[in-house]
Amino acid sequence: MDTDKLLAGMETAAREAGRIMLEADNIRASTTEKAGHANFVTSYDKRVQAYLFDALGKLLPEAKFIGEEDGADAFTDEDRRGFAFCVDPIDGTTNFVTGFRPSVTSIALLRDGAPYLGVVYNPYDDLMFTAARGKGAYCNGKRLRSSTEPLASSLVMFGTAAYNPELNARTFALCADYLPRCVDLRRTGSAAWDLCNLAMGTIGLFFEAKLQLWDFAAAGLIATEAGCRLTDLDGNPPAWDGPCPLLCASQGVAREDYLPRV
């Protein structure tokens, strides 16, 4: 197993996915809604996923494939054995539809149910994030380290789990909890991008009441390889096999400031 070659192949595939995103036009006309509040899908999400299914299948034919646009949101026992790609063709579809930036492509390779390789590509700024388990995280080849600032002097990013309105009260209680304990809050519309910001050291903490595995599998590995802590909202390790609440913080955030107080 040549890990460097695999990672390079995943990068090439992510770059091509980014090209499809950059060349997209008439995006609103190609948009339909899925189940849940304002849950959009465009023909480009489907096109990027079909391309990645094909390209990643050629790269590692024995790997299973789980992608957002397939419909299933959890790994089967079979998926947890050996290699499995977990792909979000476009993370930040609402951004993609409205023109708000960025949106990213996210490709994780799991090995025996744990993240092994991760690639996240932001085509608008040509930023390629990569990580291999135990080997660090990089952006365009430059080693990443999370921020050493304490929570009190850091920004906090959060996701609204908008497709699940029953979680709104929980989300905004968490916002009210963290806001006075940090500098300010930010919401970008792409969980993978939020986690890459943790890896780059621009923010101190990120939370979302519910994420799918394809939202955080690649960027979660990138953040942890940059020195971040990654758990569910109770401080337990994520299961890496389906939807999960997520909390992630840079190395500077003290243990006692990390968990929610609500």
Residues that bind ligand IPD (CB under 6 A): 68, 88, 91-94, 159-162, 189-191, 208, 211, 215
Q: Minimum distance between the CB of residue 104 and ligand IPD, rounded to whole angstroms? A: 9
Q: Name the DSSP class of 122.
A: E
When CB distances are held under 5 to 8 angstroms depending on the partner's kind, the choice from ligand IPD, Ca ion, none that residue 228 binds is none
Site size toward Ca ion, by CB under 5 A? 6
Among 56, 79, 91, 132, which residue sits at the site for Ca ion (rule: CB under 5 A)?
Answer: 91
When CB distances are held under 5 to 8 angstroms depending on the partner's kind, the choice from Ca ion, ligand IPD, none that residue 56 binds is none
Give the chain's radius of gyration (CA, Å). Answer: 17
Between residue 52 and residue 71, which ones bind Ca ion under the rule CB under 5 A? 68
SS3 66: strand
Q: Is the dihedral of CA 9, 125, 134, 72 positive or negative?
A: negative
CA 211 vs CA 20, 24, 88, 148: distances in Å: 25, 26, 12, 26
The DSSP code sequence of 78-125 is TTTSSEEEEEEEEE-HHHHHHT-S--EEEEEEEETTEEEEEEEEETTT
Q: Minimum distance between the CB of residue 199 and ligand IPD, rounded to whole angstroms? A: 16
Residue type, 184: D
208 is a contact residue toward Ca ion (CB under 5 A): no
C-beta closer to ligand IPD: residue 87 or 109: 87
C-beta closer to ligand IPD: residue 160 or 251: 160
215 is a contact residue toward Ca ion (CB under 5 A): yes
When CB distances are held under 5 to 8 angstroms depending on the partner's kind, the choice from ligand IPD, Ca ion, none that residue 190 binds is ligand IPD
88 is a contact residue toward Ca ion (CB under 5 A): yes
CB-side exposure of 209: number of CA atoms within 13 Å?
17
C-beta closer to ligand IPD: residue 160 or 231: 160
Q: Minimum distance between the CB of residue 168 and ligand IPD, rounded to whole angstroms? A: 12
CB-side exposure of 240: number of CA atoms within 13 Å?
22
CA 185 vs CA 101, 105, 211, 227, 235: distances in Å: 17, 24, 19, 21, 21
C-beta closer to ligand IPD: residue 60 or 121: 121
User: How many Å apart are CA 167 and CA 54, to the nearest integer?
Assistant: 36
Q: Minimum distance between the CB of residue 155 and ligand IPD, rounded to whole angstroms? A: 16
Residue nearest to ligand IPD (CB): 159
Q: Name the DSSP class of 30.
A: G
User: How many Å apart are CA 3 and CA 8, to the nearest integer?
Assistant: 9
Q: Where on the chain is the footprint of Ca ion (CB under 5 A)? A: 68, 88, 90-91, 93, 215
